[in-house]
Chains A and B, each alone.
Chain A
């Protein structure tokens, strides 16, 4: 895969760090990998500072995983979307559907403040 997914727990928050390119060829595997690690009612942080390219199928895989997580009661936040992927996040309205914060640290702080109830934003 051109995309590297690293996961770690920071307290109760599960942080995914994505590096590389998320493109059509890896979309399905990415989605499966991600969904295998998700459990109900988790707080999720996606650090996208290392994601430098994404296409529609890649974004669709990320969005479907996020929607799946939200349906399972998870709270998810995206952080540090880089300028090139940002274009696609904006025209597809993903950045309006899911909360996107400028840095991973800010997203971490915001997640710490959320309570344990269901919160799609």
Chain B
């Protein structure tokens, strides 16, 4: 059967990464031909010019209106020609030439409906970011226990499934988890499909992100009870300490580690109590 992969690249102010990402994408060795569609969300840096330096990529015009992830993803999927859709953020740099092959392989063999790749932290990632990535990705054993977990930062799915059940166009965070819960696909983690992707969030960014995720999670799963947020914060803080203590280079993160973790959990809980669960 002849397949075509459409790789959808979303960007916003990604000038530090987008060239490396697109180079790595066009350098892929894959049995299946692929096209690349880029859509920028009003970058104020040089991202659009850097994307334009890749004439092989199709540039989709930015749709009018407010950015909502589901709406943007549906727009890009509807403009794709491939029967397989690969999502890859402009700041997720594929590592090696087999990223694409490894990501789509379970779809082709019929063992999964959706796959997501392995996100490795950047060399400058904070120690606790490394620890969170190890849990969320790594050997995949921890995340396998999480409900409907997968990440669109680097992922693949059948276009038909995405057209039959589009992303929710009103939710601002966790559109991938919401879609997975509604669609119940067979999700496979592809550890060999590796990208470099991580963020060293400031406390203000952490607050914003986890407040938004709390809002989204409340809408998807219902509000998280306070006792569960507290229990989760305690467990995670202990895990943070267990991770940092044997690593002297990470000791400088020790004083702020509990503050960062409790900020996440508090704002996640607070977001879940907001009136607008969008």
Contacts and interface: CB of A to CB of B under 8 A. Distances in A.
Contacts of A94: 109, 111
Count class of interface residues, chain A:
10 to 19
Interface string A7-35: 00000000000000000100000000000
Contacts of B102: 91
Interface string B184-195: 000010101000
Interface in B144-203: 188, 190, 192
B111 A93 contact: yes
A92 B111 contact: yes
A97 interface: yes
Interface in B62-121: 101-102, 105-106, 108-112
Greatest chain A CB density within 10 A among B102, B105, B108, B111 is at: B111
Given A91-B101, A91-B192, A93-B188, A63 B1 contact: no
Nearest to A91: B105
B276 interface: no
Contacts of B109: 56, 59-60, 63, 88, 92-94
B188 to A, nearest CB: 5
A85 B114 CA distance: 23
A92 B1 contact: no
Q: Is the interface of B mostly helix, strand, loop or mixed?
A: mixed
Contacts of B275: none
Contacts of B190: 91, 93
A60 B108 contact: yes
A67 interface: yes
B111 A63 contact: yes
A92 B106 CA distance: 4
Contacts of A59: 108-110
Interface string B207-224: 000000000000000000
A74 to B, nearest CB: 17
A44 B110 CA distance: 20
A56 B30 CA distance: 12
A92 B186 CA distance: 13
Interface string A55-72: 011011001100100000
A67 B110 contact: yes
Contacts of B108: 56, 59-60, 92
Greatest chain A CB density within 10 A among B31, B102, B108 is at: B108
Interface in A67-106: 67, 88, 91-94, 97
A91 B102 CA distance: 6
A81 to B, nearest CB: 13
Nearest to B2: A24
A60 B110 contact: yes
18 contacts: A56-B31, A56-B105, A56-B108, A56-B109, A57-B1, A59-B110, A60-B108, A63-B110, A88-B109, A91-B102, A91-B105, A91-B190, A92-B105, A92-B106, A92-B109, A93-B111, A93-B188, A97-B111
Interface of A: 24, 56-57, 59-60, 63-64, 67, 88, 91-94, 97
- List 6 A-B pairs, minimum CB-CB distance, nearest first: A92-B109, A56-B108, A91-B105, A60-B110, A92-B105, A59-B109
Given A56-B109, A59-B109, A93-B190, 10 more contacts: A56-B31, A56-B105, A59-B108, A63-B109, A91-B101, A91-B102, A93-B106, A93-B111, A94-B109, A97-B111
